[in-house]
Structure 1
Amino acid sequence: MTYNYGNFDATDYDLVNFRSPQPGQKAPDFTIEVADGGGRARLLDFEGDFLVLEMGSVTCPLFQGRRQTMTGLDEQHSDISFAVLYVREAHPGANIPAHVVQDDKSACAAGLIADGENRRVFVDDIEGTVHTAYGGYPNSVFIINRNGCIVYAVDWNNPTVTRRALDLLKAGKPAALRAWFKPVPPQVSLRVLGAGGKGSMSDFLRGLPHLIWNNLIRRNVRLLLGRKTGVAPNIKC
């Protein structure tokens, strides 16, 4: 599969196995581009007690539908650093197509900032090196401590649970939480996919049964039956 696929297909993602670094493991670090002329910086060079790193793109309804809540979290936690890693377009279309060169990706990330994104936005390279190292999902979230260790990781961001994870970690407790998959309201998907242009909506609808089965049903049942464990907030790895 080409990393920057031109047409979304649910089988582009392994929705059963989230192959990413897990809590207690070292977070991959890279020197990458900072959006909108910010130069280059190390991903894990942050000032807060923790870094909340979220994957996203402008054509991802889940990411777009959670931005307001995540921005609110950023504003509430002045002692925590927040960042977005701009990845491939989740649902490319005629208006916002797949990235062909790095400038395409940088322009989309700059557009995210122009749309009011206040968190620091990192721009992955065109091959998706950083994204792949973090599991390759469109809207996953990782919380990383000052030792560069992952202390919370989830394949699909659930902002309510992310908020609880931060509260626990700041209180010195492990974030052993279940993060249920929650879709965004239909109007959010319609707006985001409509902005993507021709192909964005139709590709999404074609893959929707697969997404519902694997994310909303199969994943949540597996989560219900499984046991969730956490690691100490100050763990060294």
Structure 2
Amino acid sequence: MADYNYSEFSTTDYDFKNVHGPEIGDKAPDFALMTTEGDTKRLTDFTGDFLVLEMGSITCPLFQSRRGIMETLNRQSGVSTAVLYVREAHPGADVPGHKSFDDKKACATRLKAEDGETRTVFVDGLEGEAHSAYGSMPNAVFIINRNGCVVYRSEWNNPSATRKAVAALIAGRAVTAKDYFRPAVPVTVFRTLSKAGKGSAADFFKGLPFLIWTNIIKRNLRLFFGRTRTGSARTTC
């Protein structure tokens, strides 16, 4: 990919045909990253039995649509949650693609200060080293157990499936939830793209037919007929 921090969204910026990043049973990639509070912590240095790690940015309608449910997971005993702040999914005139790490940290800080995000927010490096290690999708989610192993993953976060996965893990069961693609709430889409500024919405709607065909139709059909790989609290890697 020539330009990680693209200035205009295009469907060619992502690989929708292949799954990248750690699979269930793989060791979770670990990085020392700065948080929005200015502390440097390791990504997988968490308390509890599980970490729910979600990729996101303030210009990603999918991420913004899921935040309400995802933040509640942190209230469950034994569960830690965090956001890995990645590149802007749909940059525009008001929230452009990042030109420096300070730009990226400023956007991540806005997520906390303006949008009220309550989870720990890790700021990835300017060129997205951690994001790339986790597959580079804009709103992927991973659940990591105390052994440092990935026990659940989805290249597109379906918050209902993620919540079911967490419930199963807490209960000591293997995860069987299927992560069907679930579109963003329309009002959140328009609010997010409007906040990003001119150009953001045009680029999004230009790619929308492809995104619908690739994710809502092809991906969901593939999941429906496919088998689910399972992970649990006991998974080792």
TM-score of the superposition, structure 1-length normalised? 0.97
| Offset of residue 36 of structure 1 | 3.2
2:16 and 2:176 mapped to 1: Cα distance? Answer: 22
Give the alignment of 1:188-227 within 5 angstroms: 188-227=188-227
Q: What is the DSSP-based 3-state SS (H/G/I as helix, E as strand, rest coil) of the residue aligned with 1:193?
A: helix
Residue identity over aligned pairs, in percent, reads: 54
Structure 1 residue 80 corresponds to structure 2 residue 66: no
Structure 2: runs of 5+ lacking an equivalent: none
CA distance in 2, matches of 1:110, 1:36: 8
Aligned twin of 1:5: 6
Q: CA deviation at 1:183?
A: 0.4
Change (3 A) 1:182 1:83: same
Distance in 1 between residues matched to 2:186 and 2:157, nearest whole Å: 17
Aligned to 1:108: 107
1:124-203 paired onto structure 2 within 5 Å: 124-203=124-203
- The SS at the match of 2:94 is coil
**RMSD value, Cα:** 0.9
**Deviations 1:75-115 (Å, cap 9, x if unpaired)?**
2x132100000000000000000000000000000001102
How far the C-alpha of 1:48 sits from its partner, in A, is 1.4
**Which stretch of the first structure deviates more once superposed, 227-236 or 126-135?**
227-236
Report the TM-score when normalising by structure 2.
0.97
How many Å separate the matches in 2 of 1:220 and 1:146?
A: 30
CA distance in structure 2 between the partners assigned to 1:16 and 1:215 by the alignment? 10
Cα separation, 2, equivalents of 1:184 and 1:155: 15
SS in 2 for 1:81: strand
How far off is 1:176 after superposition?
A: 2.2
- Checking the alignment, whether the CA contact within 8 Å between 1:61 and 1:188 is kept in structure 2 is yes
- Segments of 4+ moved more than 6 angstroms: none
- Deviation, structure 1 residue 234: 1.7
Q: CA deviation at 1:16?
A: 1.5
Q: Deviations over 1:148-190 (max 9, x none)?
A: 0000001111111111101111111111221110101211100
Deviation (angstroms), 1:231? 2.3
Residue aligning to 2:120 = 120
For structure 1, which runs of at least 5 residues remain unmatched after alignment? none
Give the 3-state SS of the residue equivalent to 1:18 in structure 2: coil
Partner of 1:48: 48
The number of residues matched between the two structures is: 235
Is 1:94 equivalent to 2:108 in the alignment?
no
Q: Which residue of 2 aligns with 1:68?
A: 68
Question: What amino acid maps onto 1:105 in structure 2?
Answer: K
Q: For the residues of structure 2 that align with 1:223 and 1:16, how far apart are their CA atoms?
A: 13
What CA deviation, in whole Å up to 9, does each residue of 1:173-229 have, x standing for no partner? 111221110101211100000100001000001111110111111100111111112
